[in-house]
Structure 1
């Protein structure tokens, strides 16, 4: 079984079900919403409820100095180091794509799980598999070929 870093977004409604499905299939899964250290997952609103109105300098300063940002980063990065596989669950934002790129750059397995309506991305060709449903994700995790797989 795999140690999976599920990269996605807080706004992705499929994320909790994806964690449950992967775990029920016997995989270990890092859940950024519920890190294993028991501390609630990171949210910018913990630092400042008005975070959407930050200027660039304020964002940079708080990202690099605030202890809540440091804790969230370390939790997630440790999860990335622990995992042997990244499942990028779309839709998601820039952080999840940075995480997926890190996995590809480290030579770790990257699986993209997409759905109808997602914007195509050329660099998705870095992934070992691009899956369109739960069954394909499970087959890719078992090393089985996926129709149209990139690698």
Structure 2
């Protein structure tokens, strides 16, 4: 079971649904505010730019909210917890198997959950619990804006990153590369460790 980590930022390549709505209704609200002022006798020299300010702040705020999918194995639990927590502190909504992504099988703490997961893998082809996890993780990748591959990682985590690439997600590689892979050239950003990643966030401006 990998760290299906989703934590949320605005789609870096365009307006989100909320942004599109805000931009679309801005002219209407401007017109409404001016018409209301004219009909109510409010002096014309009063600045009614509050509508623009509120909507602009809404757009800017939402622009820096992103969803992350953290692809990483169970053995990296401590690092996944650290990354999830730090992103959450920065105001990004975070999902990972150590928090909201856990309890898919039993509703128990993640340690017990992993024991059940290991048992369920024996009959992975027919066990509905494994199918549920697979569906949950694929959906999480679809919902994410950024897919993070946190090294060291195995085949499953690399496959999740590959799915992200196929879906056009921005890819971030974090961790020392002990065994170079050709596909690492597909990543938009590469960082030696979590701290370096948190200090940069350069992809937000691209």
Q: Which moved more, 1:31-40 or 1:89-98?
A: 31-40
Shift of 1:35: 3.4
1:102 and 2:163 matched: yes
Query: What residue number does 1:72 align with?
Result: 133
Going from structure 1 to structure 2, the CA distance change for 1:46 and 1:114 (only over 3 Å counts) comes to same
SS of residue matched to 2:100:
coil
Q: Please state which structure has a larger fraction of its residues in strand.
A: 1
Long gaps (5+) in structure 2: 1-64
The change in CA–CA distance for 1:36 and 1:15 in structure 2 (over 3 A counts) is: closer
- Match of residue 35 from structure 1: 100
Give the number of aligned pairs.
Answer: 134
Greater Rg by CA: 2
| Secondary structure, counterpart of 2:94 in structure 1 | strand
Supply the distance in 2 between the matched residues of 1:89 and 1:64 (Cα, whole angstroms): 27
Are the aligned partners of 2:71 and 2:148 in contact in 1 as well (CA < 8 Å)? yes
TM-score by length of 1: 0.74
More helix, by proportion: 2
Name the CA distance, whole Å, in 1 between partners of 2:74 and 2:158.
Answer: 14
Corresponding residue for 1:122? 182
Closer, same or farther in 2 for the Cα pair 1:77/1:50, shift >3 Å?
Answer: closer
CA contact 2:96–2:102 (8 Å) conserved in 1: no
Change (3 A) 1:48 1:85: closer
Is contact 2:175-2:194 (8 Å) kept?
Answer: no
Unaligned stretches of 5+ in structure 1? 52-58, 146-151
TM-score, reference length from structure 2: 0.56
